[in-house]
Each structure stands twice: as C-alpha cells, then as structure tokens.
C-alpha cells in the first residue's frame, strides 16, 4: 500500500517509501494456507503430541504481522493532510523477515554506538559437528557453556600473544551472536564472535591503551581449534554427553518428540514429515552429488566437524564497515526476496552463494518449508547475544574500553551515526508505532554500563540510518508526517478499513 488517504484528502501521488504488503508475500501465503495442514500432520505423526506451544504461537503471530485488521497507526502530513495507515508488527524472534530486519538494524546500531570501541574488529566463526548442533539447539545452558569454552580460548590466545610482546595484564573483549540457521534454512547452531583485534592494558599513567594484534597465522588458528576441540569434548563428557553417539535419554524427545524429529532432520539437511520423510532436501544446480570440498581459505581450520574461521577484519576507523558486519551476523534467517513459488505449488529458495557441490537452489513443499522454520524458532526468553572479556556487562574497565577512541561530538550535537547502507540481503525493518514518537534527547543521558538492553530506536531513525530513506517525508508535498492516532479497537478498525474498501478481517 503506497499510502491510504482518508476522507477529504486529494489523490495521492507516487510515494518514495511504500509500506509492505505482508499478506502478498510468499512466506505469508505459505504459512496462511498450509499451517493447519502442517499441524495436523505433526499431530498424526506423534499420536496427538504436536509441537510446543511457543512454536505454534510463533506461526500464528507471524500471520498478524503487517495486517491492518490487527491494528495500525494513522500517520498524517502536517501541511497537506495526506494520510497513511501503518500496520503493527508481530515482534517475534523466529523467522519473521520484517521484525528480524528491524531487530537486526536496531541491535547493530546499538553495538556500534554503545558497545564496540573504535579499535580493529576481527570476526571469529566457530561451526560445530552435526551432533553438537543438535545438543545445543534446545539446551541454552549447554550452548552458553560451549560458547564460553570457545571464547575463553580465543581471549586467552590474545592475552598470551600480548604477554609475549611485553604487554602485561592485557584484556580483549568479544560480542557473540548465536546463529541457529544455515544458508539452506537448516538448523545450524554456530557462533559469530566479533572480537576486539588486540588487547587493552593500563599504561604507566593509569590510562587504558589499546595494543593491536598481528593477524593470526594459519598454524595458530589450527592450534587454537585443537584446543577448543579438546575442551568442548571434556565439557560434554563431564555432562555425560558424547559428540559421536546419541545418548540413551534425549531430553528434547521426552519434551516434544515432534520437535526432536524435525530438529534432527533439519541438522542433517533431511525431511522429517510427509511422503519424503528421511530423504534429503531437493537441491538444484550443477553436480549436486559431488563430495564435500573442505575450504582452504586463509585463517581457517577444520577438525572432525569443528570449523574455525578468522579471516574477516574491519579497521578501527571504518565504523560503517563495523555496522555492516554487525548487521550480517544479526540478520534474520529468511529473506523474502529469496523465496519464489513454482508453477507446481513448491517453494524455491535461492541460496545467497553457490555451495561447494554446485547447489544454487533448494526446493520445498509448503509443509517441508514450515518444518524447516519450526526448527529455527528459538525458545522464548533466551539471549542470543552474549558478551565476554572486557565487554562483559560487569567488567571493571568496560566503560573506559567502550569510550576508547570515540570522537567527541561538536558542542550541542549528538554523536553522528554510521549511515552507509548495508547490502540488499537483509529485509527492511518493520513499522512500529514508536516510529513517530517525539524524539528523545539523549545528549545528557549517562551511558549505561550494561550492553544487554539497546535503547528503543524510532522506526524512522532506523530507516534513515540503514536505508538512507526518510519515511516521514510526505510523498505529496514534502512536508513532515506524524502519528495522530493508534487504532486497536475492533469496531473502529472495521469502520475505517470498510470505509477505505480494505479487508477488515484480523
């Protein structure tokens, strides 16, 4: 919808910003038309057990995202009375591309402005064997423990290197995003760690100084991966778990046999339900049966299913680059533009990059696609962004480290954000009724010591920052638009939407 005018307004011109039409997307149609079939099939396969309630709630709330019948904000131009209806979002964390895009942009802005200091940043990516992915997917306590083992090993590596260079008491810091998905929508728990590429240490005058590190050699990355491998094996053994063999008792299978079966199949790139149960996901491309080729990239090591990669860095003065990297690791699992229907009712998923075996596309039935999305939905109330080292919430020197190298704003002006646009892959942020709330003056606000809770960004500010788009500019006269009301009452919703000839169903 390019802007809906209420009674009394003139014909609307072409708008530079067009609110999304969620109901017309491929993903929305698949969920809307096939959710009940999927839930029935799951129930039939598990003698009525079904899926956990949080998974079903994720799907049903997704169907309300961007639906005008569920409520909206009325946004009006102060000069010419042009109006637009802006629907509410679902704010779910599983697979909604729009809400995931909003969260991606908001959290990336928070990390760049309030967490990551002006020092070089290196990305360390740790991938895990299939068995370990399954163990961590629904056991967040174990997932955090494995991540802690890996991050402490990398932080120790930096600390020991600094000590050999004559820097005593050096400490680095890290922000890790736990990603649950792979490029083919498979369940793939792995860790993207943005690590300060060096250490902080106090100088003779007590001031905190940053000592940049040399790039790690391939041999150092290999030795570090071997250390992580040994420590993770010991951690799992202490908890009665093995990386190679399935345990006698599977807590997830006891909680939800359906979710356990779907997750296990997703980790292996297979189908759990329907006539193709146990078969591999359909792949399209060249030589799709070719054997897997291990990557030979620099700063990368592979050991028995563990893969450690550390070849991506961003310079200290490239804040726009840091923000792009943050958005990359925070991106949602599904991008609308990569989904397309086929004439025979299947869903074609375009891979972002060709796989080593030549695969370029994946093909799913609608029920198979819902099965994959089920495995990607995290449990509620778990934190997927974790902080370690000098960036940990209660680290003694955290405030000084975060402020290191930050240029001060001119008198009376807030800090200028990095505004360079990211690539086209992430979905745009969702519309939120906070979009046009009065701007908050944060010039005199004290910076919190904890990085856990980003400030609430106005939707319009996020769109301007990420996409260089002024969504509050009137498309007809160029004036400023603002929220005049938020509508949630069912009778008022029906009256307004009916008057405009729009669907009134919630």
291 domain-assigned: no
377 domain-assigned: yes
CA nearest neighbour of 363 among 35, 62, 372: 372
- Mean pLDDT for 323-331 is 95
Tokens of 410: 């001119």
- Whether the per-residue pLDDT at 54 is higher than 50: the answer is yes
- Whether the per-residue pLDDT at 13 is higher than 80: the answer is no
Lowest mean pLDDT, pick from 132-146, 236-250, 299-313, 459-473: 459-473
Question: Coil, strand or helix: which one is 472?
Answer: coil
CB 387 within 8 A of CB 173: yes
- Whether the per-residue pLDDT at 287 is higher than 70: the answer is no
Those residues whose C-beta lies under 8 Å from the C-beta of residue 51, and which sit 6 or more positions away, are: 39, 42, 256, 258, 259, 374
Is the pLDDT higher at 486 or at 287?
Answer: 486
Residue-wise pLDDT tens digits, 368-420: 999 999 999 999 999 999 999 999 999 989 999 999 887 765 444 444 444 33
Tokens of 263: 């997750």
35 domain-assigned: no
184 domain-assigned: yes
**What is the C-alpha to C-alpha distance for residues 99 and 89, in angstroms, rounded to an integer?**
7
Among 43-47, 333-337, 384-388, the range of highest mean pLDDT: 384-388
69 domain-assigned: no
350 domain-assigned: yes
Question: Coil, strand or helix: which one is 214?
Answer: coil
3-state secondary structure 362-431: EEECHHHHHHHHHHHCCCCCCCCEEEEECCCCCCCCHHHHHHCCCCCCCCCCCCCCCCCCCCCCCCCCCC
**What is the C-alpha to C-alpha distance for residues 468 and 233, in angstroms, rounded to an integer?**
47
Structural domain including 332 reads 97-284+296-402
Per-residue pLDDT at 18: 62
Those residues whose C-beta lies under 8 Å from the C-beta of residue 305, and which sit 6 or more positions away, are: 128, 129, 130, 131, 132, 243
The overall average pLDDT reported for the chain is: 83
Per-residue pLDDT at 297: 76
Residue-wise pLDDT tens digits, 336-365: 999 999 999 999 999 988 888 888 999 999
CA nearest neighbour of 462 among 487, 437, 486, 483: 437
360 domain-assigned: yes
pLDDT band of residue 112 (cuts 50, 70, 90) is very high
Query: How much of the chain is helix, strand and coil, in % rounded to 5?
Result: 35, 20, 45
Tell me how many domains the chain contains. Answer: 1
474 domain-assigned: no
Tokens of 397: 């020197």
- Mean pLDDT for 290-313 is 78
Lowest mean pLDDT, pick from 53-62, 112-121, 297-306: 297-306
- Mean pLDDT for 479-499 is 86
pLDDT over 90 for what percent of the chain? Answer: 52
Residue-wise pLDDT tens digits, 206-222: 899 999 999 999 999 99
CA distance to 123, 190, 246, per residue, from 264 (Å)? 28, 16, 11
């Amino acid at each position: 919808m390019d802007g809906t005018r209420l009674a009394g307004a003139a014909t609307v011109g072409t708008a530079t910003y067009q609110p999304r039409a969620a109901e017309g997307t491929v993903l929305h149609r698949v969920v809307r038309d096939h959710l009940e079939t999927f839930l029935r099939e799951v129930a039939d396969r598990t003698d009525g057990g079904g899926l956990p309630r949080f998974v079903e709630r994720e799907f049903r709330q997704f169907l309300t995202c961007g639906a005008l019948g569920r409520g909206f904000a009325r946004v009006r131009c102060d000069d010419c009375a042009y109006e637009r209806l802006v629907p509410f979002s679902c704010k779910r964390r599983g697979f909604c591309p729009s809400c995931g895009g909003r969260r991606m942009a908001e959290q990336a802005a928070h990390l760049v402005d309030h967490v990551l200091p002006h020092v070089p940043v290196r990305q360390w990516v740790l991938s895990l064997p299939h068995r370990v992915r399954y163990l961590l997917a629904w056991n967040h306590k174990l997932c955090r423990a494995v991540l802690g083992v890996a991050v402490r090993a990398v932080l120790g590596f930096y600390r020991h290197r600094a000590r050999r260079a004559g820097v005593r008491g050096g400490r680095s810091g890290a922000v890790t995003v736990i990603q649950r998905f792979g490029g083919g929508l498979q369940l793939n728990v792995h860790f993207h760690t943005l690590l300060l590429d060096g250490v902080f240490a106090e100088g003779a005058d007590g001031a905190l100084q940053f000592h940049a590190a040399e790039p790690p050699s391939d041999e150092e990355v290999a030795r570090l991966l071997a250390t992580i491998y040994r420590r993770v094996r010991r951690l799992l053994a202490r908890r009665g778990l093995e990386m190679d063999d399935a345990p006698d008792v599977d807590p997830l299978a006891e909680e939800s046999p359906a979710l356990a079966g779907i997750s296990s199949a997703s980790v292996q790139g297979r189908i759990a339900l329907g006539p193709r149960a146990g078969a591999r996901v359909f792949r399209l491309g060249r030589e799709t049966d070719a054997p897997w080729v291990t990557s030979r990239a620099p700063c990368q090591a592979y050991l028995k299913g563990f893969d450690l990669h550390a070849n991506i860095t961003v310079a200290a003065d490239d804040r726009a680059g840091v923000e792009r990297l943050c958005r990359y690791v925070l991106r949602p699992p599904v991008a609308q533009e990569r989904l397309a229907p086929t004439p025979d009712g299947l869903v074609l998923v375009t891979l972002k990059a060709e796989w080593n075996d030549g695969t370029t596309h994946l093909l799913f039935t609608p029920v198979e696609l819902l099965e994959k999305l089920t495995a990607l939905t995290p449990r509620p109330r778990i934190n997927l962004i974790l902080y370690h080292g000098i960036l940990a919430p209660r680290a003694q020197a955290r405030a000084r480290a975060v402020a290191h190298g930050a240029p001060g704003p001119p008198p009376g002006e807030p800090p200028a954000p990095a505004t360079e646009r990211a690539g086209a892959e992430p979905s745009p942020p969702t519309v939120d009724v906070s979009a046009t709330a009065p701007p908050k003056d944060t010039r005199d606000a004290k910076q919190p010591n904890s990085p856990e809770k980003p400030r609430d960004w106005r939707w319009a500010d996020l769109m301007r920052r990420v996409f260089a788009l002024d969504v509050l500019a009137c498309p007809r006269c160029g004036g400023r638009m603002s929220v005049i009301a938020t509508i949630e009452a069912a009778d008022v919703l029906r009256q307004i939407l009916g008057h405009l000839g729009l669907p009134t169903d919630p």
